Amino acid sequence: MNEDAALHSFRGIGKKTEELFHKLGIDRAGDLLTFFPRDYMVYPKPLESTDQLEPGKKQALYGFFKKAPVNHHYRSMDVTIGYFYIGSRGEKAIQVFWYRMPYLSRNIHIASPYVIYGTVGEKNGDLRFEQPALFLPQAYEKETNRLLPVYSLTKGISNQKMEKTVEEALNLCLPLKDPLQKEEDLLKEAGLISYEKAIRNMHFPESPDRLSAAIRRFSYQEFLVFFLSVRMEEKGLAKEKNNLVLDRHETCDRIRENLPFTLTKGQEAALSDLNADFAGPTVEERLIQGDVGSGKTIVAFLSMVRMVENGYQSAIMAPTEVLASQHQKTFQELIDRYQLPYHIAFLTGSLKTAERRQALFDIEDGTADFIIGTHALIQEGVSYHKLALVITDEQHRFGVRQRDAFLKKGQHPFSVVMSATPIPRTLALILYNGMHVSTIRDVPSERLRVKTAVIPDGKRAVAWNFIRKQVAAGHQAYIICPLVEASENLDQENVTDYGKNLAEYFKEDARVGILHGRMKPEDKDKIMTDFASNKIQILVSTTVVEVGVNVPNATVMMVENADHFGLAQLHQLRGRVGRGQWQSYCILINSQKKNADHANKRLDIMNRSYDGFEIAEEDLKLRGPGDARGIRQSGDSPFTMADIYQDSNLLELASIHADRILEEDPELSAEGHEGLRRLVDAKADETYTNL
């Protein structure tokens, strides 16, 4: 089949380039079809004067050449240098450089209008264009009406190369086989376009509306596959009888009476919901939704103590090693503070062999009362002694259930999923089909509200200065950048360079650390430990700190390119500060130039509201169709394209459709379901391997 064609059979792709594509997870022609752009770009309107030129930005200029550019030969390379006169009268000129394109000097028409487009450079204070694309004005005009795909790339593959390769793959694979070919009626009912049309418009949108239609189609597909995967897994798993004997509650009561704070109403309610579950006839699953900082950890701890004091094991599973080791520390502190005779086993993927062996022993023979870790907890080779409760913290992957995994281990624990993703109850009920839901809406009242400010990136120095003062007062700060390293086609801050600049700026006044998902687990852990113990004062990080991290001494959360983030995500980030008794601050840098006002308006919601549910709703209202949706950066989102808020009607429909499909073909084994079945299997795998 053509979809299986190897990449080196493509024009202009040799073994070396093929390797680069492999790095992006692209092994065959078919993989290219679903390697969707991470963003889309529109060519900007051409400028007619130099005033608005900004170094580092991609810009277009309208003008002409008075003389033919001249070819030079430097270090065995052809360099063509010309002067481009800007505007129709051409009062000012900018120097333009082209490499390895000597033919240009002959082909350019003197005194006739052109548009040049590229990144504005700067050398010794002079602005210049290097290697700009050259257009006739009419041709450029046409381009400005198109949405151009922007792909996530790796060094050695340019965006243009990717575009060409995708196009070739598309032509090679025609006609495309729709994985939902059997579901034509359902697609029609949902008003969705065909697979082939959708694929084409994802890569090369004919218009913004067509792009929206394509995204809608794949959002639906994503939901549908999700529901099919969850439901097929759940099917046939009858509820277990609850055999737990939970007579003792003295320890639990004693801790509650001696907490340094009083529990909020929401925390109390969640705990009594859990206790009612524990006393019921069957083993249940519960979702606890609580905004950032609402104090879910103590709820987890108390319900786990309840199990442990009755002789059972209980486990808590976190999505990241950073969060798992933070829980370990918190739990150990609580054990010490209340002098509890309990033992913790800690299990993650990066333990040394001896440590791992010890942890496994402790878990198996019952020495371990609390078991804390990552998804390593459900992997093979872990046997439990008397596991009664499993809590999954910060569950962003909706509907994920560990029940199956533990059943295979012969255990029937109660299962609790804790999430800070604010979703309306109706949606939660669909996404977590059949789970009970508790919602903690209040946050501890004595806490001071985080003061929030939105500022343009030109005022960054003010923010840094502010951080300097906070650090001098003994506090700490987070600074979030969207990228790990500098990127060729993305104009956003990156942790690596930012960290270096900041360390230079602060010199002896503060220690700066960097954190991102590509670091080794032990390095991440070291940085987080150093930050938690104030050995590092400023942590420059990607959004890996978004999830669950608790360092109460940190009082500043500064977010670079804040306009680029979803508000729900910013809300999560802001939730990392304001956790102690000190006034805390959230500084959002708006780096939008073109649409600064719109971005400001959106970000300003953060100023007005501190309620995650409300923020998510407001964000939704302000987003235009196709605007900032889908194509997301964050790896935490369970859906790459679909947006549960914006597409809530599609979500509902997909849920109903999934049931209908399974009613007719429970195993998805009917003819014509091969493609769909493959997608569902891949989804199920991802659930267990991605964390």
Say which entry of Mg ion, ligand ADP, none residue 552 contacts (CB below 5 to 8 A, set by partner kind). ligand ADP
Residue 416 or residue 654: which is nearer to Mg ion going by CB?
A: 416
Say which entry of ligand ADP, Mg ion, none residue 295 contacts (CB below 5 to 8 A, set by partner kind). ligand ADP
Minimum CB separation of residue 294 from Mg ion in Å reads 9
Contact (Cβ atoms closer than 8 angstroms) between residue 515 and residue 541: yes
Coil vs helix vs strand at 2: helix
Say which entry of Mg ion, ligand ADP, none residue 264 contacts (CB below 5 to 8 A, set by partner kind). ligand ADP
Minimum CB separation of residue 374 from ligand ADP in Å reads 16
Minimum CB separation of residue 333 from ligand ADP in Å reads 10
Three-state SS across 16-69?
HHHHHHHHCCCCEHHHHHCCCCCEEECCCCCECCHHHCCCCCEEEEEEEECCCC
Say which entry of Mg ion, ligand ADP, none residue 263 contacts (CB below 5 to 8 A, set by partner kind). ligand ADP
Minimum CB separation of residue 544 from Mg ion in Å reads 14
Residue with tokens 């086993």: 345
Residue nearest to ligand ADP (CB): 295
Minimum CB separation of residue 192 from ligand ADP in Å reads 37
State how far the Cα of 69 lies from the Cα of 106, in Å rounded to an integer. Answer: 8
CA distances from residue 279 to 247, 414, 437 in whole angstroms, order as listed = 10, 11, 17
Tokens of 195: 């697979």
State how far the Cα of 320 lies from the Cα of 318, in Å rounded to an integer. Answer: 6
Residues lying near ligand ADP in the complex (CB under 6 A) are found at 261, 263-264, 267, 290, 292-298, 420, 444, 548, 550, 552, 579
Residue 269 or residue 391: which is nearer to Mg ion going by CB?
A: 391
Please report the DSSP string for 540-571 in residue order: EE-GGGGTT---TTEEEEEETTGGGS-HHHHH
Tokens of 150: 């922007």
Please report the DSSP string for 638-683 in residue order: S-SS--TTTTHHHHHHHHHHHHHHHHH-TTS-STT-HHHHHHHHHH
Q: Report the residue count for the chain.
A: 691
Q: Do the bridges between strand 148-150 and strand 370-373 make them parallel or antiparallel, or are there none, so unpaired?
A: unpaired
Residue 170 or residue 324: which is nearer to Mg ion going by CB?
A: 324
Residue 477 or residue 651: which is nearer to ligand ADP going by CB?
A: 477
Residue 5 or residue 298: which is nearer to ligand ADP going by CB?
A: 298
Minimum CB separation of residue 419 from ligand ADP in Å reads 10
H or E segment at 135?
A: strand 133-135
Residue 120 or residue 300: which is nearer to ligand ADP going by CB?
A: 300
Q: What is the DSSP letter of 428?
A: H
State how far the Cα of 242 lies from the Cα of 236, in Å rounded to an integer. Answer: 18
Minimum CB separation of residue 579 from ligand ADP in Å reads 5
Main-chain phi, psi angles of 391, to 5 degrees: -110, 130
Minimum CB separation of residue 405 from Mg ion in Å reads 22
Residue 296 or residue 683: which is nearer to Mg ion going by CB?
A: 296
Residue 69 or residue 295: which is nearer to Mg ion going by CB?
A: 295
Minimum CB separation of residue 271 from ligand ADP in Å reads 11
10 Å CB burial of residue 597 (0-12, 13-18, 19+) is exposed
Residue 490 or residue 549: which is nearer to ligand ADP going by CB?
A: 549
Residues lying near Mg ion in the complex (CB under 5 A) are found at 548
Say which entry of Mg ion, ligand ADP, none residue 524 contacts (CB below 5 to 8 A, set by partner kind). none
Say which entry of Mg ion, ligand ADP, none residue 261 contacts (CB below 5 to 8 A, set by partner kind). ligand ADP
